[in-house]
């Protein structure tokens, strides 16, 4: 999702499912590491490979420039089960977020990744309300 607020703040917002999660997780960073537990759609199954080799080792991280603790607190005040996270995994979600954070840094925009639980854990209606509330919180920041 690519969003633009009235004062021209651009934001790339991504959602991914964490099947083991019991709450929403606002991701702080992504690692330059691709380690896939199963092959992607093209059959690629990297193991401890840098996502962007020119960025250096797999321990390299990129962080969002958004105030995730403030965002998390605002959402918690709205009674959502939400937390901050420093680990987006090493699978597809981390891969997407790393690329997005790199692109955001290069183009002077913002990027955020949110992990959501399965609908069996938090129902679809609540997740849709959470997404709308998150957009309101993000809009209020700028």
3-state secondary structure 77-119: HCCCCEEEECCCCCCHHHHHHHHHHHHHHHHCCEEEEEEECCC
Look at the chain and report how many structural domains it folds into.
Answer: 1
Q: What is the pLDDT along the chain (142 residues), one digit of tens a residue?
A: 545 544 556 999 999 999 999 999 999 999 999 999 999 899 999 999 999 999 999 999 999 999 999 999 999 999 999 999 999 988 899 999 999 999 999 999 999 999 999 999 999 999 999 999 999 999 998 7
Q: Which domain, by its residues, includes 128?
A: 2-141
- Is the CB of residue 62 less than 8 Å from the CB of residue 29? yes
The reply to whether the predicted model has a pTM over 0.85 is yes
CA separation (Å) from 91 to 33, 112, 123, 126? 9, 17, 24, 26
CATH number of the structural domain spanning residue 66: 3.40.630.20
């Amino acid at each position: 999702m690519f969003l633009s607020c009235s004062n021209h703040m651009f934001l790339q917002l991504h959602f991914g499912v964490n099947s083991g999660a019991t709450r929403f997780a606002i991701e702080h960073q992504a690692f330059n590491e691709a380690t896939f537990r199963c092959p992607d759609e093209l059959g690629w199954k990297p193991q401890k490979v840098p996502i962007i080799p020119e960025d250096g080792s797999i321990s390299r991280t990129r962080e969002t420039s958004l105030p995730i603790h403030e965002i998390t607190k605002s959402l918690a005040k709205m009674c959502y089960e939400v937390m901050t996270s420093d680990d987006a995994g090493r699978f597809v979600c981390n891969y997407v977020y790393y690329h997005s954070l790199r692109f955001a840094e290069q183009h002077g925009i913002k990027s955020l990744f949110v992990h959501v639980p399965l609908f069996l854990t938090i129902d679809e209606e609540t997740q849709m309300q959470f997404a709308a509330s998150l957009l309101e919180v993000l809009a209020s920041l700028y």
